[in-house]
Amino acid sequence: MYAQPVQRLIAELAKLPGIGQRTAQRLAFHILRASEEDALALADAVRDVKANVGLCEECFNLAEGPRCRICEDERRDRSVICVVEEPQDVIPIERTHEYRGLYHVLGGALSPIDGVDPEDLRIAELVQRVERGGVNEVVLATNPTTTGEATAIHIAELLRDKTTVTRLASGLPVGADLEHADEVTLGRALAGRRAVSG
Amino acid sequence: MYAQPVQRLIAELAKLPGIGQRTAQRLAFHILRASEEDALALADAVRDVKANVGLCEECFNLAEGPRCRICEDERRDRSVICVVEEPQDVIPIERTHEYRGLYHVLGGALSPIDGVDPEDLRIAELVQRVERGGVNEVVLATNPTTTGEATAIHIAELLRDKTTVTRLASGLPVGADLEHADEVTLGRALAGRRAVSG
């Protein structure tokens, strides 16, 4: 019913995650109404990202060259590797300004039900990095979910005799109140309780 | 924090309506993970739609050439013009297969609060089409909303002595039940009641 290029744009937009047919239609009509400049900026940004962004050959974070900005940065502490599931998990950790080591991006979490096995993640590459030496600590920062925990446990086993392995603390988020905390989080907070100095 | 092409893609996606920063980020990472082919298909679809789809010079519907497929179709009844707010409103009317006339796309609805005045819509062009002659009926199919009604009333006034002006019926949607009908719709259904033949 729509002109063929419009139908095609709606079909391409509807392939994006969380974008249904109606939303795709709304976005397509927005693009049709937008200025030539704005629409081409979007098209170019998509092309550009595919042409110029790949994965770091060392840590598999996003990179504009063979290695990412963090691996290239001489000031980072090369004796610590923080293991995350996806490239977007690097950002919140960097924002804390608490971490000065390197990263290792697995590309997901173990989930046998979804067919994600150890060989589908970059776990062997992590073990190789550790075996090359000079790594004093591996911080497991996979998500505090069933799959993230399973992944952390699996990696911890593999690295047990090779280096110190740590895991991000689980507990109450800062600013939360006890009354509304779920029991799993509260249980973790209790199990991980620390002595108060003072 | 992200590589510059990734930041740029997130920024461009976030300009789309209903797409916030977090959704834009999610879509950008999907595009990063997608195959080269899929990502370029999206970029090309955006370019193609801007390059090849414009507005019909007669009715302002979407068109791949100077005039849209409906205006070009010799079998359409040129004595009736159906007035709609947006190009996407043409589709549901075409789907009914009840209408064989032409269209006129206003490009929105009157809304002084949002700064949409008669000169922002293609109302003057509609009046010109009617004044050129041969139009026996103008069907006002703007939305049954405050702005759509205001637009219909405004156009009806302008065309009063020039042609017959009709408005889509308001009433209960087919398949609805009375119990759950809102009072405005039910009021309209009552006011528009018809004699039953038989």
| Angle of the B4-14 helix axis to the A36-52 helix axis, nearest 10 | 150
Instruction: Check B95 against A25: CB less than 8 A apart.
Output: no
CATH of the domain at B134: 3.40.1360.10
Going by C-alpha positions, the residue among A3, A32, A13, A4 that lies closest to residue B86 is A32
Same domain, A87 and A160: yes
Q: Are residues A47 and A79 in the same domain?
A: no
Task: Let me know if residue A187 belongs to a domain.
Answer: no
Report pLDDT for B168. 84
What is the extent of the structural domain holding A30? 4-52
Q: Does B25 touch chain A (CB under 8 A)?
A: yes
Number of H helices, E strands in chain B: 8, 6
Q: How far is B75 from B97, CA to CA, in rounded Å?
A: 14
Q: Does residue B2 surpass a pLDDT of 80?
A: no
**Mean pLDDT, rounded, for B154-170:** 91
State the pTM of this model: 0.71
Chain A residues in contact with B53 by the CB 8 A cut-off are 3, 5-6, 32
B169 touches chain A (CB under 8 A): no
- Compute the Cα dihedral for B77, B83, B87, B92 and give only its sign: negative
CB of A5 within 8 Å of a chain B CB? The answer is yes
Helix axes A123-131, A146-159, angle to 10 degrees: 30
Q: Does B17 touch chain A (CB under 8 A)?
A: yes
Q: Is A125 on the interface with B (CB under 8 A)?
A: no
Match 């924090």 to its residue by tokens: B1
Note the pLDDT of residue B42.
95
Task: Say how far apart CA A82 and CA A143 lie, in whole Å.
Answer: 12
Q: Which two tokens mark A4?
A: 């063929």
**Which of these, A183, A107, A185, lies nearest to A147 by C-alpha position?**
A107
pLDDT of the residue at A197: 61
Question: What ipTM goes with this model?
Answer: 0.71
Both A94 and A141 in a single domain?
Answer: yes
A124 within a domain of the structure (yes/no)? yes
The residues of chain A scoring below 70 in pLDDT are 1, 195-198
Q: How far is B194 from chain A (nearest CA, A)?
A: 33
* Residue B44 in this model has a pLDDT that exceeds 90: yes
| Same domain for B82 and B24 | no
- CA distance, residue A173 to nearest chain B CA (Å): 20
CB burial of residue B21 (10 Å; 0-12, 13-18, 19+): exposed
At residue B192, the pLDDT reads: 76
Number of folded domains in chain A? 2
Report how far Cα B40 is from the mean position of its chain's Cα atoms. Answer: 29
pLDDT of B194 higher than 80: no
Confirm whether A57 is domain-assigned. Answer: no
**Average pLDDT of span B32-53:** 92
- Per-residue pLDDT band for B198 (boundaries 50, 70, 90) equals low
> Model confidence over B106-143: pLDDT tens digits?
999 999 999 999 999 999 999 999 999 999 999 999 98
CA A39: distance to chain centroid? Answer: 29
- Element at A138 (helix H, strand E): strand A137-140
Which positions in chain B touch A94 (Cβ < 8 Å)? 1
- Give mean pLDDT, residues B75-87: 95
Residue B41, pLDDT above cutoff 90: yes
Higher-confidence position of B187 and A34? A34
